[in-house]
């Protein structure tokens, strides 16, 4: 029994990782190519792109699919739902990190600027983690989502999700503003 569960865990993880990272890698590369195209066409400084809260929609998707109500509603509980859930999360995170890594490499971004960007991504992701652990009683806006799910029999978590997106956006924009203000200190060294 334990061996079957272990094999199922490993198989679900591997299949989700392979599918998600492969598709996410291509998506991240494509997103980076689009961003580089926009950067080369723009007249202004690329530092203004710091203010775009692109982390918010990407990480909002991780919050949406963290508890896979929709996936299990479509596919039921079991192996297929597990693989799809893992693959979606890995896809989202892989596309996020691949696009960022390609852009930093192509633009020869300084180490300080890269670290600031990664720190901002992790800070925004902490909102998603807080929301997830809020499902297990640690508080935050997830308590609202859980209350709505319990009251509606699992049909409505939208107000909690909207609150999570709002928190993501506030974090992303605030840290983007800080990064923008300190840009001259972040991007003043060769990569």
| Domain-embedded: residue 62 | yes
Which tokens belong to 129? 């983690």
In a domain, 191, yes or no: no
- Residue 47 is assigned to a structural domain of this protein: yes
Could you tell me if residue 169 is inside a domain? Answer: yes
Specify whether the CB–CB gap between 25 and 19 falls below 8 A. Answer: no
Give the other-Cβ count within 10 Å of 187's Cβ.
Answer: 19
Per-residue pLDDT of the chain (191 residues; tens, 9 = 90+): 778 888 888 898 899 899 999 999 999 999 999 988 887 776 666 677 778 888 888 888 777 766 666 676 677 777 787 888 888 889 988 998 898 888 888 877 788 878 888 888 888 888 877 777 666 665 666 666 666 666 665 555 566 677 778 888 998 898 888 888 877 666 665 54
Residue 161 lies in a domain: yes
Tally of domains in the chain:
1
Inter-residue contact 157 to 149 (CB < 8 Å): yes
Q: How far is Cα 147 from Cα 152, in angstroms, rounded to an integer?
A: 9
Q: What pLDDT shows up at residue 191?
A: 43
42: phi then psi, degrees, rounded to nearest 5: -75, 145
Domain assignment present for 112: yes
Owning domain of residue 75: 2-186
């Amino acid at each position: 029994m334990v061996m079957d569960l272990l094999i199922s865990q490993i198989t679900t993880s591997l299949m989700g990782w392979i599918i998600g990272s492969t598709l996410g890698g291509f998506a991240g590369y494509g997103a980076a190519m689009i961003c580089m195209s926009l950067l080369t066409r723009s007249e202004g400084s690329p530092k203004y792109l710091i203010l775009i809260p692109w982390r918010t929609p990407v990480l909002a998707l991780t919050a949406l699919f963290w508890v896979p109500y929709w996936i299990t509603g479509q596919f039921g509980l079991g192996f297929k739902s597990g693989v799809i859930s893992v693959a979606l999360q890995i896809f989202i995170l892989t596309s996020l990190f691949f696009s960022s890594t390609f852009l930093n490499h192509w633009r020869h971004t300084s180490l300080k600027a890269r670290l600031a960007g990664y720190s901002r991504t992790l800070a925004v992701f902490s909102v998603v983690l807080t929301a997830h652990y809020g499902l297990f009683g640690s508080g935050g806006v997830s308590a609202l989502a859980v209350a709505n799910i319990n009251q509606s029999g699992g049909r409505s978590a939208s107000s909690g999700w909207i609150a999570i997106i709002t928190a993501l956006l506030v974090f992303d924009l605030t840290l983007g503003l800080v990064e923008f203000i300190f840009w001259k200190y972040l991007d003043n060294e060769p990569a």
